[in-house]
A and B are shown apart, each in its own frame.
Chain A
Amino acid sequence: KQEVTQIPAALSVPEGENLVLNCSFTDSAIYNLQWFRQDPGKGLTSLLLIQSSQREQTSGRLNASLDKSSGRSTLYIAASQPGDSATYLCAFTSGTYKYIFGTGTRLKVLA
């Protein structure tokens, strides 16, 4: 069964901290992995997409890494800001025409 686990489920940090969100998945035959952000009552915004041939992707203060052999991805957020407060979801596809989603990490950055 394909599953995604995200740890921690919730995280509260003071502004300015660097933080790491973890995602582990069960299928080593991953095609790509995508990190999303979801604000309360809103849709999903794509943050970073990592292809199976890549090890990491960067966008601004965000860096996502992928280790297929261990079935893990991490999302690194540098110098966190209150505006980063949201739920962060990771999802992967192994070429079965669908993404498998984790249950997310709820992040709160305190001013």
Chain B
Amino acid sequence: DTAVSQTPKYLVTQMGNDKSIKCEQNLGHDTMYWYKQDSKKFLKIMFSYNNKELIINETVPNRFSPKSPDKAHLNLHINSLELGDSAVYFCASSPTPVDSHGYTFGSGTRLTVV
């Protein structure tokens, strides 16, 4: 299936731990994104990469570090997890950064920090 896939789907961890979320797209898109959806369901962009290069870093704490080993993958590593990091994290992709085809989203990773 052509899609944006994220792993894991659920992640429960203790404060202070370091964790990673992985994202892969097989759509041949050049641009990938991480969005955070808070408890009020508001979606806000965190990062965007185009062809492995960072193009958006939206004032996210530097405990969050994205890595794009190739244009089909964008992983998110979070250090020293805090309670406030609990949210659903969505990966998305688009053919180009400013695009006429819109976004395709993954199904989300629900992170719970206890």
CA distance A2 to B43 in the complex (A): 14
Q: Which residues of B16-44 have CB atoms within 8 Å of chain A's CB atoms?
A: 31, 33, 40-44
Q: CB distance A104 to B106 under 8 Å?
A: no
Q: How many residues of B contact A (CB 8 A)?
A: 28
Q: Which of A43, A46, A49 contacts B106 (CB 8 A)?
A: A43
Give chain B residues whose Cβ lies under 8 Å from the Cβ of A99.
Answer: 45, 103
User: Can you list 28 contacts pairing A with B, beta carbon distance less than 8 Å?
Assistant: A31-B98, A32-B100, A32-B102, A34-B102, A34-B103, A38-B41, A41-B110, A42-B107, A42-B108, A43-B90, A43-B105, A43-B106, A43-B108, A44-B103, A46-B102, A46-B104, A91-B103, A93-B98, A95-B98, A97-B31, A97-B50, A97-B56, A98-B45, A98-B48, A98-B58, A101-B43, A101-B44, A103-B41
Closest CB pairs A-B (n = 4): A43-B107, A101-B43, A44-B105, A49-B102
